[in-house]
Structure 1
Amino acid sequence: MKTLTVLELSKLYNINRQTIYNNIKKGILSKNSDNKIDLAEAIRVFGEPAKKNDVKESVKLDSSNSTEILLLRQQIDMLKNQLDDAKERESFYQNQIETMQRLLEAPKADITTFTDPKSESTMPIDSKLEATQTDKYDGLTTTSEIKNKRIAVPEPVEETPKKRGFLSRFFLPNG
């Protein structure tokens, strides 16, 4: 059979050690040669022990599970807060985008886009004139006024004489 020390027996039956020592002195309870008490002797004196050890172990399991559950709930709460913050930021930025779009002017249909100079050189001259006339359209004049507008032709400029060096001014004839 199993033998127990006084301390183990007091924990098993949840009684004071002094009570166990008093029962030994009175002869109600006996010890063996190695100062341990036989479990059958303890059952004869104190009865069947309550299964508190099993209860304590299950409580320990429950407490570890409950701490895990508590940690998981805290993490869930933290993640919910982060999600709420992210939603608030998203709505704030969406409002900022809408405000900026309202402040920007809508693009006008008359504005021409940038054209590549290479592709412009391949266009016929007549279409270049039409393109420059439409580019210069400012919305204040009518299209008939643009057609009647005269293009100024530059006046011919006299040729400037070729530059001469210092010595050629003296030794060469005027030319």
Structure 2
Amino acid sequence: MKSLSVLELSKLYNINRQTIYNNINKGILSKNSDNKIDFSEAIRVFGEPVKKVDVKESVKIDSLNSAEFLLLRQQVDMLKNQLSDAKDRESFYHNQIETMQRLLEAPRPYTTSFIDPEKTQSEPILDENNEVIAKPPKEPEVVENSRISIPEHIEPEPEKRGFWSRFFLPNG
């Protein structure tokens, strides 16, 4: 709503400025933080003004509001552009993810086979025509690292002992 100074209010209602100040001091009329009186507050106290408010004055007073309005409009437009850019990026990355998932091979399910403990696979499995279907697996060979040689005269490292075992268990 429109805010008026004491001088503008006195001219609008054709009353003395001192009357307005007295009403403010008595608490009948209140001022804003910018020391102006709200037009609706003036109507509440003094009633409708005798002469109409000029449209040109309201444009001058609202010019600050219109500048703020333009600034806010620009910010809203900028945020809309940023939102549309973010949505475009999101759809691009979503398409990239789908493409990568199609390119990756689906993992094969883990198949378990029953192994009869009595029958070990030391013999190849044959079909009806006596053709080899599966060969027995080879035993893994244990290969020692030939580069690192451990001398035989070195004693094995003693077992690590905890803090309390040092006090309560005998030395070993």
Which category describes the TM-score, using the shorter chain as reference length?
A: 0.3 to 0.5
TM-score of the aligned structures, taking structure 1 as reference length: 0.34
Name the structure where helix makes up a greater proportion of residues: 1
Which structure is larger by alpha-carbon Rg, 1 or 2?
1
